[in-house]
Amino acid sequence: MYLSRKFNYFFIVFFVSFFSAGVPSFSDSNGHGDDILRKIREKAGYAFSRYSGVESRREITTGQYDFLTGKLITSYRAVLLRKDYFYKKAEFKALKFVRDGRELPPEKFNYRSMDPVHMPFAKNSDENYSIILGGETAIDGVSCWELEVIPKKNTMRHFSGKIYFTIDGLDLYYLKGTVAYRPFVLKNLSMEIYFKKTGDISVMSRGSYVIEIDVPLFFPHRKIVSSFTSTEDKLIPAE
């Protein structure tokens, strides 16, 4: 259970921060890259200058399975009030915690904070990532630009995958991927996140991730499947 909460924190910090800072250079074969880059950078810079993060109500549902047999081992549901900041660790207050159908005191839902990932759109992102514009595509009927994020370093603090901005408005809409490095006990990790507009920036709407871990004797053959929804979003003004 601790591992599932640990990974949950890791990705939420990353996703809520994704659209906060400057955008690195990227390339494409059609000459669109420079213009799209300029427009996204302007939107991101504006958002980061006005806000320091997002406050929201987060509902998380997680099941832990034996990935060899598919048997459910344990499950939980938690409702949180979160403050996710762009460049510092998140704060949260648990409102409800249910484990295996039994409601427990909310404070039982607790996990240790982790260092945030290196954000692909941070000011120093050229040191950590290459970004390639892949062209136009549709996500659930929404026309988007597809950008591939290629990490320059293989660590668990580096993202690897694709992100999608709407063609109409250049708003962050969808993301899918993994981490650049997986230790031998981490057999698989994948994530999908959808975003929505709150005010004039993009924030998380809903998402899911799947983690497979194998720690013999202690945590063997575990598959963690988690999903979340985020509501009642409020932008936190910059200090």
**Which residues sit opposite 135 in a β-bridge?**
146
Domain coordinates in residue numbering, the chain: 2-230
pLDDT tens profile 166-178: 999 999 999 999 9
pLDDT at 113: 61
Q: Is the pLDDT of residue 180 over 50?
A: yes
Residues 19-43, mean pLDDT to the nearest whole number? 56
Contact 4, 224 (CB under 8 A): yes
What ranges make up the beta strands (E) of the chain?
Answer: 26-27, 51-66, 72-85, 91-99, 102-104, 129-139, 142-151, 159-166, 172-179, 186-198, 201-215, 219-237
Give 32's pLDDT tier (boundaries 50, 70, 90): low
Query: pLDDT: is 130 or 32 the higher one?
Result: 130
Give 46's pLDDT tier (boundaries 50, 70, 90): confident
pLDDT at 132: 84
For 80, residues 6+ apart whose C-beta sits below 8 A from its C-beta are 57, 58, 59, 60, 92, 93, 94, 95, 109
Query: pLDDT: is 199 or 45 the higher one?
Result: 199
pTM over 0.85: no
Give 228's pLDDT tier (boundaries 50, 70, 90): very high
Q: What percent of the chain has pLDDT over 70?
A: 81
pLDDT at 116: 67
pLDDT tens profile 185-207: 999 999 999 999 998 889 999 99
pLDDT at 134: 83
pLDDT at 28: 42
pLDDT tens profile 84-101: 887 778 889 999 999 999
pLDDT tens profile 72-83: 999 999 999 999
pLDDT tens profile 132-141: 888 899 999 9
